[in-house]
A and B are shown apart, each in its own frame.
Chain A
Amino acid sequence: MDKTLAPNAARGALDGFTAAPALGLAAACPMTRFVLRGRAEALAAAEAELGFLLPRQACRAASLDGRHALWLGPDEWLILAPLADGPALGEALEAAMGAHPHSLVEISQRQTAIVISGPRATGLLNVGCPLDLDLAAFPVGMCTRTVFAKAEIGLWRRAPDSFHIEVWRSFSPYVWRFLEAAGAEYA
Chain B
Amino acid sequence: MNAPFRTAAGGRHDRGRPVSFSFDGKTYQGFAGDTLASALLANGVCLMGRSFKYHRPRGVIAAGSDEPNALVSVQRDAARYAPNLRATQVELYEGLSSESQNRWPSLAFDVGSVNNLASPFIPAGFYYKTFMWPRKAWDRFYEPNIRAAAGLGRSPTEADPDRYLNRYAHCEVLVVGGGPAGLAAALAAAQGGGRVILADEQTELGGSLLSATDATIDGKPSDDWLAETLASLAALPNVTLLKRATAFGYFAHNMIGVTERLTDHLAAPNAATPRERLWNIRAKQVVLAAGSIERPLVFPDNDRPGILLADAARTYLNRYGVKPGKRVVVATGHDGAYRAALDLHRAGVEIAAIADLRPNPTGPLVEAARAAGLPIRPACAITGTSGGLRVITARLSPIKGAGQVGPAQIVPCDAVLMSGGFTPSVHLFSQSRGKLRWDQDLLTYLPDQSAEQERSAGACRGRFGLAEALADGFAAGAAASGAEVSRTFAVEALEGDPRGVIGALPHDRGVNAKAFVDWQNDVTTKDLKLAVREGFQSIEHIKRYTTTGMATDQGKTSNLNALGVVADVLHKPIPEVGLTTFRMPYTPVTFGALAGLARGDLFDPVRATPIHDWAAEQGAVFEDVSLWKRARYFPRGSEDMEAAVRRECVSVRAGCGIFDASTLGKIEVVGPDAAEFMNRMYVNAWTKLGVGKCRYGVLCREDGFVTDDGVVGRIAKDRFHVTTTTGGAPRVLGMMEDYLQTEWPDLNVWLTSTTEQWAVIALQGPNARRILEGLVEGIDLSPEALPHMSLAEGRIRGVPTRLFRVSFSGELGFEINVAADHGRAVWEAVWAAGQPHGLTPYGTETMHVLRAEKGFIIVGQETDGTATPDDVGLTWAVGKAKPDFVGKRSLARPAMSEPDRKQLVGLYTDDGAVVLEEGAQIVATAGQTPPMRLIGHVTSSYYSAVLGRSIALAMVSGGRARLGESLYSPSPVGDIPVKVVPTVFYDPEGARVNG
Residues on A with beta carbons closer than 8 Å to the beta carbon of B195: 134
A101 and B607 contact, Cβ closer than 8 Å, known pairs A3-B777, A108-B757, A174-B602:
no
B639 contacts partner chain A, Cβ-Cβ < 8 Å? no
B326 contacts partner chain A, Cβ-Cβ < 8 Å? no
B601 with A177: CB separation less than 8 A: yes
Minimal beta-carbon separation of B678 from chain A (angstroms): 14
A126 with B168: CB separation less than 8 A: yes
Q: Name the residue among B270, B825, B833 with the largest chain A CB count within 10 angstroms.
A: B825
B604 with A101: CB separation less than 8 A: no
Q: Which of B818-875 contact A (CB under 8 A)?
A: 819-826, 829, 833
Residues on A with beta carbons closer than 8 Å to the beta carbon of B748: 39, 101
Minimal beta-carbon separation of B742 from chain A (angstroms): 14
A10 and B754 contact, Cβ closer than 8 Å, known pairs A108-B819, A178-B597, A185-B273:
no
Q: CB < 8 Å: which of A104, A109, A126 contacts B820? A: A109
B170 contacts partner chain A, Cβ-Cβ < 8 Å? yes
Among the 9-residue stretches A47-55, A58-66, A113-121, A164-172, the one with 4 or more Cβ atoms under 8 Å from chain B is A164-172
Q: CB < 8 Å: which of A2, A6, A30, A177 contacts B602? A: A177
A107 contacts partner chain B, Cβ-Cβ < 8 Å? yes
A5 and B597 contact, Cβ closer than 8 Å, known pairs A105-B752, A111-B756:
no
Residues on A with beta carbons closer than 8 Å to the beta carbon of B774: 1
B272 with A11: CB separation less than 8 A: no
A30 and B821 contact, Cβ closer than 8 Å, known pairs A75-B750, A126-B168:
yes
A48 to B274 CA separation, bound complex (whole angstroms): 52
A10 and B602 contact, Cβ closer than 8 Å, known pairs A38-B750, A101-B671, A184-B272:
no
Q: A171 — nearest CB in chain B belongs to which residue?
A: B605
A127 contacts partner chain B, Cβ-Cβ < 8 Å? yes
B598 with A149: CB separation less than 8 A: yes
Q: B745 — nearest CB in chain A belongs to which residue?
A: A75
A101 with B754: CB separation less than 8 A: no
A9 to B825 CA separation, bound complex (whole angstroms): 6
B798 contacts partner chain A, Cβ-Cβ < 8 Å? yes
Residues on B with beta carbons closer than 8 Å to the beta carbon of A9: 822, 825
B753 contacts partner chain A, Cβ-Cβ < 8 Å? yes
B167 contacts partner chain A, Cβ-Cβ < 8 Å? yes
Q: Which of B573-605 contact A (CB under 8 A)?
A: 596-598, 601-602, 604-605
A106 to B777 CA separation, bound complex (whole angstroms): 22
A127 to B155 CA separation, bound complex (whole angstroms): 28
B797 contacts partner chain A, Cβ-Cβ < 8 Å? yes
A151 to B610 CA separation, bound complex (whole angstroms): 18
A110 with B820: CB separation less than 8 A: yes
Minimal beta-carbon separation of A176 from chain B (angstroms): 11
Q: Which of B741-769 contact A (CB under 8 A)?
A: 748-757
Residues on B with beta carbons closer than 8 Å to the beta carbon of A185: 163, 270, 272-274
Q: A34 — nearest CB in chain B belongs to which residue?
A: B752
Minimal beta-carbon separation of B877 from chain A (angstroms): 26
Q: Which of A137-187 contact B (CB under 8 A)?
A: 137, 149-151, 168-171, 173-174, 177-178, 181-182, 184-185, 187
Q: B273 — nearest CB in chain A belongs to which residue?
A: A185
A130 contacts partner chain B, Cβ-Cβ < 8 Å? yes
A170 with B756: CB separation less than 8 A: yes
Q: Which of A1-57 contact B (CB under 8 A)?
A: 1-6, 9-13, 30, 35, 37-39
B170 with A132: CB separation less than 8 A: yes
A129 contacts partner chain B, Cβ-Cβ < 8 Å? yes
A127 with B821: CB separation less than 8 A: no
A169 with B820: CB separation less than 8 A: yes
B670 with A104: CB separation less than 8 A: yes
Q: B755 — nearest CB in chain A belongs to which residue?
A: A110
B750 with A103: CB separation less than 8 A: yes
Q: CB < 8 Å: which of A37, A75, A170 contacts B609? A: A170
Q: Which of B73-106 contact A (CB under 8 A)?
A: none
A171 to B750 CA separation, bound complex (whole angstroms): 24
B6 contacts partner chain A, Cβ-Cβ < 8 Å? no
A11 and B754 contact, Cβ closer than 8 Å, known pairs A39-B748, A177-B601, A178-B597:
no
A170 to B270 CA separation, bound complex (whole angstroms): 33
A67 contacts partner chain B, Cβ-Cβ < 8 Å? no
Residues on A with beta carbons closer than 8 Å to the beta carbon of B319: none
B280 contacts partner chain A, Cβ-Cβ < 8 Å? yes
B282 contacts partner chain A, Cβ-Cβ < 8 Å? yes
A186 to B700 CA separation, bound complex (whole angstroms): 51
A130 to B826 CA separation, bound complex (whole angstroms): 40
Q: Which of B266-286 contact A (CB under 8 A)?
A: 270, 272-274, 280, 282
A130 and B168 contact, Cβ closer than 8 Å, known pairs A108-B757, A108-B819, A184-B272:
yes
Convert B193-210 into 0s and 1s, putting 1 for each residue whose CB lies closer than 8 angstroms to a CB of A: 001000000000000000
Residues on A with beta carbons closer than 8 Å to the beta carbon of B799: 4-5
Residues on A with beta carbons closer than 8 Å to the beta carbon of B610: 11, 13, 169
B527 contacts partner chain A, Cβ-Cβ < 8 Å? no
Residues on B with beta carbons closer than 8 Å to the beta carbon of A169: 610, 756, 820
B169 contacts partner chain A, Cβ-Cβ < 8 Å? yes
A170 with B754: CB separation less than 8 A: no
Residues on A with beta carbons closer than 8 Å to the beta carbon of B757: 106-110
B670 with A10: CB separation less than 8 A: no
A181 and B602 contact, Cβ closer than 8 Å, known pairs A10-B822, A104-B670:
yes
B608 contacts partner chain A, Cβ-Cβ < 8 Å? yes
B756 with A182: CB separation less than 8 A: no
A39 to B673 CA separation, bound complex (whole angstroms): 13
Q: B748 — nearest CB in chain A belongs to which residue?
A: A101
A182 with B597: CB separation less than 8 A: yes
Residues on A with beta carbons closer than 8 Å to the beta carbon of B955: none
A80 to B829 CA separation, bound complex (whole angstroms): 30
A169 to B824 CA separation, bound complex (whole angstroms): 14
B165 contacts partner chain A, Cβ-Cβ < 8 Å? yes
Q: CB < 8 Å: which of B167, B609, B627, B752 contacts A35? A: B752
B489 contacts partner chain A, Cβ-Cβ < 8 Å? no
B151 contacts partner chain A, Cβ-Cβ < 8 Å? no
B606 contacts partner chain A, Cβ-Cβ < 8 Å? yes
Minimal beta-carbon separation of B761 from chain A (angstroms): 14
A133 to B836 CA separation, bound complex (whole angstroms): 58
Minimal beta-carbon separation of B203 from chain A (angstroms): 21
Q: A37 — nearest CB in chain B belongs to which residue?
A: B750
Q: B195 — nearest CB in chain A belongs to which residue?
A: A134
B824 with A171: CB separation less than 8 A: no
Convert B156-196 into 0s and 1s, putting 1 for each residue whose CB lies closer than 8 angstroms to a CB of A: 00000001011111100000000000000000000000010
Residues on B with beta carbons closer than 8 Å to the beta carbon of A123: 167
Q: CB < 8 Å: which of A11, A126, A178, A187 contacts B821? A: A11
A110 with B753: CB separation less than 8 A: yes
B482 contacts partner chain A, Cβ-Cβ < 8 Å? no
Residues on A with beta carbons closer than 8 Å to the beta carbon of B673: 101
Minimal beta-carbon separation of B622 from chain A (angstroms): 14
Q: CB < 8 Å: which of A3, A75, A171, A187 contacts B798? A: A3
A123 to B163 CA separation, bound complex (whole angstroms): 17
A174 with B605: CB separation less than 8 A: yes
Q: A138 — nearest CB in chain B belongs to which residue?
A: B170
B628 contacts partner chain A, Cβ-Cβ < 8 Å? yes
A132 to B284 CA separation, bound complex (whole angstroms): 12
A6 to B799 CA separation, bound complex (whole angstroms): 10
A127 and B597 contact, Cβ closer than 8 Å, known pairs A108-B819, A110-B820, A150-B604:
yes
A30 to B282 CA separation, bound complex (whole angstroms): 36
B672 contacts partner chain A, Cβ-Cβ < 8 Å? yes
Minimal beta-carbon separation of B249 from chain A (angstroms): 16
Q: CB < 8 Å: which of B598, B670, B753, B756 contacts A109? A: B756
Q: CB < 8 Å: which of B166, B282, B605, B753 contacts A151? A: B605
B454 contacts partner chain A, Cβ-Cβ < 8 Å? no
Beyond the given A128-B597, A134-B195, A150-B604, please list 17 additional residue pairs across the A-B interface where CB-CB is below 8 A: A3-B798, A5-B799, A5-B826, A9-B822, A11-B824, A11-B825, A39-B748, A76-B750, A103-B668, A105-B752, A110-B756, A126-B168, A127-B168, A149-B598, A171-B607, A174-B605, A178-B602
Q: List 9 A-B contacts (CB under 8 A).
A: A3-B777, A4-B799, A101-B748, A109-B757, A110-B756, A123-B167, A126-B167, A170-B627, A184-B272
* Top-4 shortest CB links A-B: A4-B798, A9-B825, A103-B670, A103-B750
